[in-house]
Amino acid sequence: MVDAGDPGDMLRAARLRVTRPRLAVLEAVRAHPHADADTIIGVVREGLGTVSKQAVYDVLAALTAARLVHRIEPSGSPARFEARVGDNHHHVVCRSCGEIADVDCAVGEAPCLHASDDHGFMIDEAEVIYWGTCPDCAAKNALPSP
């Protein structure tokens, strides 16, 4: 589910103080799904002017802990952040360019939450990453060499 509510209300509902950096980071994540921290820092600096890297990292950590932002970490890639939370969706990642897209759960109502052996864990989320080649990279690779 994508929460398009008011950022200030979202922060208050999560019992987080509403600050300019938190609002700016939340808006940046919402506007740039699957962006890495450096991209988010750049967007936040465009809006606020000077803000430290550490401040943005701290806000990302607070928003992730409050479940307002989801952190994904594809292998070999920096952490990415998205505002689509609470629906147990998955991702597809291009092996060539690193583009990431959302993929809804493969079959109906989150069957992937039922592990074949839960080892006694109370599972509340599953993360699946599909790897492949995006259409743009596939088209580039299909072009004949000059």
In this structure, of 57-66, 86-95, 106-115, 130-139, the range with the lowest mean pLDDT score is 106-115
Q: How many CA atoms lie within 13 A of 25 on its CB side?
A: 28
Task: Give the confidence band of 146 by pLDDT, cuts at 50, 70, 90.
Answer: low
Q: pTM for this one? A: 0.81
Other CB atoms closer than 10 Å to residue 51's CB: what's the count? Answer: 17
Maximum pairwise Cα distance, the chain:
59
Tokens encoding 113: 């939450």
Mean pLDDT of 72-81: 91
Position 3 confidence tier, pLDDT thresholds 50, 70, 90: very low
Domain boundaries, the chain: 7-72, 87-142
Helix (H) or strand (E) holding 80: strand 80-82
The CATH number of 87-142, from 3.40.50.970, 3.30.310.40, 3.30.1490.190, 3.20.20.70, is 3.30.1490.190
The class level of CATH for 7-72 reads mainly alpha
Instruction: Report which of 72, 69, 101 is spatially closest to residue 86, judged by C-alpha positions.
Output: 69
Phi, psi of 48, deg, nearest 5 = -105, -15
